[in-house]
Chain A
Amino acid sequence: DQQVKQNSPSLSVQEGRISILNCDYTNSMFDYFLWYKKYPAEGPTFLISISSIKDKNEDGRFTVFLNKSAKHLSLHIVPSQPGDSAVYFCAASGMNNNDMRFGAGTRLTVKP
């Protein structure tokens, strides 16, 4: 049962442009959402999170948007840099729950 979905396996963007990565979820009990970045053979690293009481959270070049009614969140990276090339995972959990579910990941390639 795929509770968190990232329908785009890959995304290619030109340096300096905006990267938009999307994520959908099905479990209405999720109220805390996170984005992780992962390089091959390494553990994921935390990027940014958002709780369900907000619809936007910004940290430098990274902004996460949450649309609870649509059960959709997105990560915007602007401007995109070649060093942003990695696999990005969307994750969801409940603040009072212990599990954390991941999407399948989207491989972002930022071309110089």
Chain B
Amino acid sequence: GAVVSQHPSRVICKSGTSVKIECRSLDFQATTMFWYRQFPKKSLMLMATSNEGSKATYEQGVEKDKFLINHASLTLSTLTVTSAHPEDSSFYICSARQSGTEAFFGQGTRLTVV
């Protein structure tokens, strides 16, 4: 299947700093990219959906100024967690999708804010 690369796989940052997570579709052009967050023992919660070249659509309750999403090209989307706090510690997963197909997922990023 198609490959989606997410980087970094693990990151530890200090409270108050920002961290950027990259999501790349390696062998296909992703018209849509999704960002999810998974809490322990809970489902994948959709944070936002982004289409290349346009602003991301955020889910209710997700702070767009805190979780900045940039989908600059058909193969790259980034999620920046700004002014991170310990409660932002979580497992973040991106996925990429061509129109009308299944979504392919990145490996996930374990963010720990200390």
Residues of A within 8 A of B (CB): 32, 34, 36, 41-46, 49, 89, 91, 95-96, 98-105
Interface: B104 (CB within 8 A): yes
Q: Judging by beta carbons under 8 Å apart, are A99 and B51 in contact?
A: no
Residues of B within 8 A of A104 (CB): 42-43
Q: Judging by beta carbons under 8 Å apart, are A98 and B57 in contact?
A: yes
CB of A29 to closest CB in B, whole Å: 15
SS class, residues of chain B in contact with chain A: strand
Residues of A within 8 A of B103 (CB): 34, 46, 91, 100
CB of A97 to closest CB in B, whole Å: 9
Q: Judging by beta carbons under 8 Å apart, are A102 and B44 in contact?
A: yes
CB of A45 to closest CB in B, whole Å: 7
Q: Judging by beta carbons under 8 Å apart, are A43 and B51 in contact?
A: no
Interface: B25 (CB within 8 A): no
Q: Judging by beta carbons under 8 Å apart, are B100 and A95 in contact?
A: yes
A96 to B4, CA, bound (A): 22
Interface: B34 (CB within 8 A): yes
| Interface residue from A41, A45, A98, A99 paired with B91 (Cβ < 8 Å) | A41
Known pairs A91-B103, A100-B97, A104-B42. 16 more at Cβ < 8 A?
A36-B105, A41-B91, A41-B110, A42-B107, A43-B6, A44-B105, A46-B1, A46-B103, A89-B44, A98-B32, A98-B51, A99-B34, A100-B46, A101-B46, A102-B36, A103-B43
Known: A44-B105, A46-B102. A102 touches B49 (CB 8 A): no
Greatest chain B CB density within 10 A among A43, A45, A104, A105 is at A43
Greatest chain A CB density within 10 A among B6, B42, B46, B57 is at B46
Residues of A within 8 A of B6 (CB): 43
